[in-house]
Amino acid sequence: MRSTCEICLSLLYLFSSVVFAAPTIFEERSFKVERRNVSNPNARNGVAALGRAYRKYGWEVPEVLSNKVQTIQALAATPQGEEGTVKATPEEGDAAFLSPITIGGQTLMVDFDSGSSDLWVFNTQLKARQTQGHAVYDPKKSITFKPMEGATFKISYGDNSAASGSVGTDTVNVGGAQVEGQAVELASTITDSFTRDVNSDGLVGLAFGSINTVKPQPQKTFFENVMASLDKPVFTANLRHHTVGSYEFGRIDKSQFKGSLTYVPIDSSQGFWQVDSKGFSVGAGIIQTNQEASPAIIDTGTSLMLADDVVVRSYWRQVKGAQMDGQGVTFPCTAQLPDFHVALGPSYMATIPGELMNFQRLSRDTCFGGLQSNMGQPLQIFGDVLFKSQFVVFDGGKKAVGFAPHN
């Protein structure tokens, strides 16, 4: 008979020979991440937000809109207080909010984006002028960083803006949940359009890894890596109007919404949290059917709602003085905006109060609409304007998105 000591030694040898595959996860079973107000008065502008949304999905930006965006960027670069500077407070846009994460022990403020799948950060491989104003990740200061040999990434948009570089792995901590071996993308070349938002130090994509841009092998997102270890394979977006809001992973806080959640099945074949949206109504009007409705992406990384033209025109036709052109829909700030009701899946109708359809005041008399045209593209994008009215659950187990109105 083998002695107790011999058995212990055998077990020790057995466990020491096991190779644990990365990523390794150390986590709380559920965790919350609050968004923070970064308080940059020039950070958000409705016209700029529209151009950014078009670029994100590779859509052509109309020339008149592109020119207007460039003018806004030039004004934002002037010292505060000079005539012509347009200030957009966070209360007007509800968009200048970021969340803290740590990579290799270094804290960065990032966007959580359910409409993309790359974890991309500003880092020391960029030139100093390109990182000015940003917190910068330094892989040399991390004892857990490992280069991913032969791996590269490239993110590009329809306006020819791009970022590309190498890839490594490191320990990523989000609100107490920690993933070892998470792919982190490190740009070595970048176009200037990426550097203008000096508050954001990067992005955490929460869509599906199939659209991750790392080559030769796309990498899993943070959520995909941490999902199996959570109490529930979910993350929730509780992004409210005039307040900071939060993301929560592994738990659904039932105190944050009214009634019961309605779950809508997704089509993830294109890598997005994509649902059908074939009906809508304006104010107290009847429900209208959008016969050739484009599917809708539920996207925390886009500020506006971009919908099919038939939807946009039907809504703004009810607002006296509203104008729709290549620079987006604007309207008199004195106008009373009707509620907007939009179908999500076959049976749920989300109501967005009229006050939330005003994205931002552009001038003393002119405001910018929260509902804008997708310019005939084959997708609708439902961003923060929707989230301000809805508690949203992204369920990776059910492959569904749950909706309920905020309480």
CA geometry: angle 150, 156, 162, nearest 5 deg: 85
What CA–CA distance (Å, rounded) separates 66 from 78?
Answer: 19
**Separation of CA 276 from chain center:** 19
Q: Across 232-332, where does the E strand assignment appear?
A: 234-238, 246-249, 262-265, 274-275, 279-282, 288-289, 296-298, 305-307, 323-325, 328-332
On the 0-12 / 13-18 / 19+ scale of CB atoms within 10 A, 130 is middle
* Pairing, β 371-373 against β 305-307: parallel
d(CA 186, CA 181): 15
What is the chain's Cα-based Rg? Answer: 23
Q: Which two tokens stand for residue 228?
A: 């199996």
Would residue 299 show up in a list of annotated catalytic residues for this protein?
A: yes
Token pair belonging to 343? 């179908």
What phi and psi values does residue 363 have, to the nearest 5 degrees? -150, -175
Quick check: 211 and 125 in contact, CB under 8 A? no
| Residue of 111, 113, 159, 170 marked catalytic | 113
Q: Which of 118, 197, 276, 299 is catalytic?
A: 299
- Cα distance between the two ends of the chain: 66
Q: Provide the annotated active-site residues.
A: 113, 299
